Structure 1
């Protein structure tokens, strides 16, 4: 049974959950984690991404874009979702 995974994780060829092989995806997720650990604030992470003109990935599920990465503006709720992944 496959279900949508949080950004930064994907299914490997053998069906197991692995880190996303895309360097940019891993880098964006690692930066968000690091900034959240440093500041303790999701708003501070969003602010830093915006100030630096950085985008954050998400995977589309369903429709014509199914499985593709979409890069966009990082929002507070996404930072909290990423932070919850580490719990």
Structure 2
């Protein structure tokens, strides 16, 4: 999955009518991508960019295996994992 773009927060005008300027945000993701990639990481980054977002053939294969009962699925275990991930336990 690729994530593109960064949304800037909307600013509302202050009581005096002027909009407040957003505070500068320092983040490694705001730096230029070329500055973040070393010569060691460049081949891996290129390979990642060449990959499709979703492997449709693999998704179809897993969907068929699940429908045929060849792939075990435990709904209660999945529900428990979701609850634990979201802080339920």
TM-score by length of 1: 0.25
Which structure has the higher relative contact order (CA within 8 Å, separation 6+)? 1
Indicate the structure with greater strand content.
1
TM-score by length of 2: 0.24
* Higher Rg: 2
